[in-house]
Amino acid sequence: MELPDKKLKLINAGKIVCEEELLRISDDETAVKVDAIGVCSSDCRNYAHFDTGYFGHELVGRIITPHEAFQRDDRVVVMHRYGCRQCPACRSGSYNLCMRPVKVDVGFRKFVKIRKHEAQYCLYKIPRGVCISEAVFADSAACAVHALKITDIKPTEKVIILGCGFMAVIFSLMIQIHNRNISVYVRNPKKKAVCKSLGVESLEPGQTDEIYGYFDVCIDTAGDADLLKHISKSMKCGSRCLCFSGVDDSNVFYSSYRDREVRILFSKHHNPDDVRQALCMLKDGCLPFRHFIKSSYSLDAVEPVIKAMLQGSILRGVIEMDSV
């Protein structure tokens, strides 16, 4: 079978080209027609700096060529990578920390092909009732599910989230299911509206200056070492800080965290169970992403959407492709 694929390729910072080709599907491959692609902050970073390698990796689609558990027209999330199942990390069940992760050839494109034997590792069926423009962020949501398992927040603990992007939204929505004591540190006052629609308190620069030893948990989605250092005095002694984002210069804040014995936690990617739980949360209506995303309807919109995200005028965009 041959499918008329169209794919965006990033060839340098700020330079996208569109390639068209016939995608040949062999007998040992399964084809997925892409219905929607989420634009993620790592796509934006790659577009701006040409350094992350990620360009179009949050995908949902429907099965064209059935295989085992996957029937024709089943809606699926396509994960862009999966654990090799052979390295020590995978053998211990930590597929998220695989030492030789296998990449799936995703992208901003119309079709994806997957080798049949890997379908069970990288395709997840979307429950009925979940809209595709929200399911597309199952990958991001699963990363948050995984991070929250590590952080283990109790219902009465006071939580501060650093940053006010889409990940902060996901964390706020998930934590709110059992804990209402959430503050979000917002550096850009324009984003206060996001906190309002989430129903969480927003703290702006300066407002934390007089808060000492108050928070039990900090979740960092900003990756700003100076901000982490600044917030340390607002953390309780023995509190916990989950570094969700990488931090460029960790030396800047380590000693201030040592002084308060703040436990620094890390999380990376997600495991299959995390994805399934994220999809259940979407089905249960706990994650109303539609209020925080902007939909567009053509691959031509990818570049304007990325620019709007880089400017901070939208949190995240979704490209929906003739999803009739």
Residues binding Zn ion (CB under 5 A): 40, 42, 83-84, 87, 90, 98
**What is the smallest separation between the CB atom of 89 and Zn ion, expressed in angstroms?**
5
Q: Is 70 exposed, middle or buried (0-12, 13-18, 19+ CB in 10 A)?
A: buried
Q: Which is nearer to Zn ion, 48 or 64 (CB)?
A: 48
Q: How many residues does the chain have?
A: 324
Strand partners, 70: 67
Return the half-sphere exposure (C-beta side, CA atoms, 13 A cut-off) of residue 193. 7
Task: Show the DSSP H helices in the chain as ranges.
Answer: 41-49, 88-91, 119-122, 132-135, 138-151, 166-176, 192-198, 225-232, 251-259, 272-283, 302-311
Q: Which is nearer to Zn ion, 23 or 305 (CB)?
A: 305
**What is the smallest separation between the CB atom of 248 and Zn ion, expressed in angstroms?**
19
Q: Which is nearer to Zn ion, 83 or 272 (CB)?
A: 83
Q: How far is CA 180 from CA 159, 177, 183, 264, 269, in A?
A: 9, 8, 9, 23, 26
Q: Which is nearer to Zn ion, 98 or 227 (CB)?
A: 98
Phi-psi region of 129 (alpha: psi -120 to 50; beta: other; left: phi over 0): left
**What is the smallest separation between the CB atom of 86 and Zn ion, expressed in angstroms?**
6
Report helix angle 302-311 to 41-49, nearest 10: 90
Distance CA 324, CA 310 (A): 30
**What is the smallest separation between the CB atom of 21 and Zn ion, expressed in angstroms?**
25
**What is the smallest separation between the CB atom of 60 and Zn ion, expressed in angstroms?**
13
Strand partners, 59: 37, 78
Q: Which is nearer to Zn ion, 240 or 270 (CB)?
A: 270
**What is the smallest separation between the CB atom of 111 and Zn ion, expressed in angstroms?**
20
Q: Which is nearer to Zn ion, 87 or 252 (CB)?
A: 87
